[in-house]
Amino acid sequence: MNQRSPKPIPFIDAWQPAGLATGPRDIYHHRFVVSILLSTLFYLLVVISLNYSFLNLQPAGSRLVLQFGVWMTLGIVASLAIIRKTGQRNLALQLFLSSMLLGFMYVTLHTGGINSPAIVCTLILPPLATLSISVWAGVAWSVLLATMTIPYVLADRAGLLPQNVMNADNRQLAIYLSLITSNLFLTVIAIYYELLSKRLRNQVEKEHDMYLHLANHDSLTELANRRHFITAIEAAIAEAKNKNGAFCILYFDLNYFKSANDQHGHHFGDQILSQFSQRLQEHTRQYDLVARLGGDEFSILLKEMNDEKVIAKKLTDFSHILAQAMDIDGISYQPSASIGYAIYPKHGHDYESLLKAADQSMYRVKRQQPAQNNTR
């Protein structure tokens, strides 16, 4: 079954490698990765601009901000290039995460070590790795992050203070920006992941419903198939037992269908079956069930009906309705059907005995049909 493709997002989808066949799930993950990279680049430019515009940076601080910005930009651009050229999202993400980790570690080294505001931003990495790559990737990045921060902890405990190019006046603002950055990143990731999960769940539910429909319906006529019809009979039996009720099964077999199908081809035969099934549906109550059991055999489950006089009239009405001529590809076809019936519980107490009784009833009628030419 073809899966419905998501609506295009030109600026994001432009980074999708040309000719790479992907399903909706891959497209959503691709968009997630590209969105993270592009939004990080945009946020980086904003933060750097704010640093230069509103913070009284010393020359060493200005160089550090510039170095971090250039390093991160190169990492993001390289990651985007990998996605565009190869489509390897995991490789691109690993490069991006590595760039972030090394960049934050470098800034941490020059802004107070373990007490640096930049250390807060490293908390972004494990959740991002978990949601964008895998759970094990998140675990690996957690271990790596913990390992790389150990030297800073040991240095702080030993009283070895690293170089700090940050002005004391800017420290509170830097801490605030780090917290905002981490919170914004994690919130965006969580929201995107939730939206993605919801969209994928809806898609899975729709596909499940479609597969369930295909499993229970005839592909040509869209009527219930034999499996679905048997399930419905079993449900009707259970309901009738509880309520001391009854129901009826009608069994239809098209007369002379094989000769018409052989004479005019399968397309002609399919048209007969489609029009026949449509007539059955149009003249059946909404809560009854029409089914194609196979070939040219059809059946109807008539709930709460066991009066044989009413059933006999129903058979007569169906015979007249179904005998109306069909115009198929300019050929007038005169259909007719042999119809039998069975009543629960009079003719059987399970689906097998009921269908057998209805089938035998139908064949008694069929043996009385004269030979005729149905097309003219």
Tally the residues of the chain. 376
Report pTM: 0.59
pLDDT confidence bin for 4, thresholds 50/70/90: low
16 residue type, one letter: Q
The answer on pLDDT for 49 being more than 50 is: yes
Listed residue (93, 121, 118, 98) closest to 108, CA to CA: 118
More confident residue, 29 or 220: 220
Average pLDDT over residues 21-45: 81
Please tell me the least confidently modeled range out of 14-23, 55-64, 176-185, 290-299. 14-23
Average pLDDT over residues 92-106: 94
Please tell me the least confidently modeled range out of 16-20, 40-44, 209-213, 351-355. 16-20
The answer on pLDDT for 52 being more than 80 is: no
Domains of the chain and CATH, by start: 10-213 (no CATH), 226-366 (3.30.70.270)
pLDDT confidence bin for 339, thresholds 50/70/90: very high
Q: Where are the alpha helices (DSSP H) in 111-256?
A: 118-121, 125-132, 135-157, 168-216, 226-243
The answer on pLDDT for 232 being more than 60 is: yes
Kind plus residue range of the DSSP H or E element containing 292? strand 289-294
pLDDT confidence bin for 229, thresholds 50/70/90: very high
DSSP state of 124: G
pLDDT confidence bin for 1, thresholds 50/70/90: very low
pLDDT at 371: 56
Q: Report the C-alpha gap between 360 and 190 in whole angstroms.
A: 63
Buried b or exposed e, range 331-370, using 16+ CB within 10 angstroms: eebbbebbbbbbbbbebbeebeebbebbbebbeebeeeee
More confident residue, 358 or 179: 358
The answer on pLDDT for 89 being more than 70 is: yes
pLDDT digits (tens, 9 = 90+) for 146-168: 999 999 899 888 888 777 877 77
Burial label for 79, CB within 10 Å (0-12, 13-18, 19+), is buried
Average pLDDT over residues 189-195: 80
Q: Which two tokens stand for residue 29?
A: 């993950």
